[in-house]
Amino acid sequence: MADVASPESEQPTLIRVIGPGLLLLFVVGDILGTGVYALTGKVANEVGGAVWLPFLLAFVVALLTAFSYLELVTKYPRAAGAALYTHKAFGIHFLTFMVTFAVMCSGLTSASSASKAFAGNFGEAFNLSLGDGITLTLVALGFITLVGLVNFRGVGESVKANVVLTCVELTGLLIVIGIGAWALGGGNGDLSRLTQFNTPPGDSIALSVTAGTALAFFAMVGFEDSVNMAEETRDPVRIFPKVMLTGLCITGLIYVLVAISAVALVSPAELGSGDTPLLKVVEAGAPAFPLGLFAFITMFAVANSALINMMMASRLLYGMANERVLPSVLGRVHRTRRTPWVGILFTTVVAFGLIWFADLAALGGTTALLLLCVFTVVNVAVLVLRRDPVEHQHFRAPTVIPVIGALACAFLASPLSGRAGADYRVAGVLLVIGVVLWAITYATNRFVPGAISRN
């Protein structure tokens, strides 16, 4: 796709500024995000000392699905990701809309949660008493406004900010791994915990592990966001396979090492209490380490999650507006900044509402549930779209991989995995809202000839 508007249209296009290095940092930064900083303790509650195992299994499931995404993004190197692939594979407006809505909800919920976490860590890092009321909310709103401005300024500026923030959040996790290695080398810690399972009466070890994996999967999502940046990536067909797989392997290794360090230094019961498990690990392994500095690092880690998710959500709306699944106004690009400004404005306003009204503490599991459903659809879409050849060469996943990926994602999304009932209740409310919005969009598009089409 050219970087300038075509003679037939005055609508400018997105600009390609993302190379292999920036794309790798985007993938790594998005996956590392807020999940591992908060979920390690919750996974320990589910599975006990073998907390590393659910993270490893979540990595394997994510890797299987990544192969499907790679075949599709190199076959159709355009913005919109899973929604675009669903649209092309099935051509059902309702299904496409609901996939779009689910992915957007996951991104905006994650960004809004990160904004609240940013506000909390901002108070800790600077020794401010923000409480949990209006002041905390105002800080979060101010932060998401700043994210929106950076997003609007340009993809180059957004990706450069991601580089800095990714380096900061990666440093925080390397500190945890380094402290764990140093403490264990000095004879501290207890590696025997790594093989201990926490199995509630009436449950099996397998059920505890699958429940932990369903929860840990939230920490592995993020790789799928990068495909929404395909129209702003240089030569996406060539660089996406190597970059995405490298990024997943790096983050998978880091997660397993963090989990091992955490449970070796802090008991699973203590690790699972409270909202700052990694801060406890740092305190246990290196009491002299300045905890305020680690809170500062955590603040920037969650800031990166917010930025990347807001970038993804706005590009998702842009891509699906161009596919005529959403109103065309959401696909408008600013003439000078070359960013999807209407999509950015819309997603920022929605994030305002989530920050102000929603209690996001229990939405991590729901977000993972929605994305697992989306990943199931994407794995099936790969197989369906094998009948749609394209003229250029592209990555092709072995057929068995999307089949196993679809089954694994569907299992982790089902009640058989031991997933909490609250996840389904919250997801049900969100999907009902999505159905209402689809009905409104469908009725509106009926007045525009050809508005609902399969491209």
pLDDT tens for 19-48 read 888 888 888 887 886 667 767 888 888 888
Other CB atoms within a 10 A radius of the CB of residue 200 amount to: 10
CA Rg value for the chain:
21
Q: How confident is the model at residue 370 (pLDDT cuts 50, 70, 90)?
A: confident
Give percent of the chain above pLDDT 90: 24
pLDDT tens for 133-168 read 677 788 889 999 999 998 888 767 777 777 888 888
The yes-or-no verdict on residue 437 having pLDDT over 80 is no
What lies within 8 Å, CB to CB, of 83 at 6+ separation is 96, 99, 100, 103, 316, 319, 320, 323, 325
Query: Which burial class, exposed, middle or buried, applies to 231 when counting CB atoms under 10 A from its CB (0-12, 13-18, 19+)?
Result: buried
Residue 388 CA to residue 392 CA, distance in Å, equals 12
Domain spans, the chain: 20-445
| Most trustworthy range by pLDDT among 10-14, 100-104, 265-269, 384-388 | 384-388
> Beta partners for 18?
233
What lies within 8 Å, CB to CB, of 332 at 6+ separation is 11, 340, 341, 342
The yes-or-no verdict on residue 449 having pLDDT over 80 is no
The yes-or-no verdict on residue 106 having pLDDT over 90 is no
CATH of domain 20-445: 1.20.1740.10
What pTM did the predictor assign? Answer: 0.79
And the tokens for 201? 């009466």
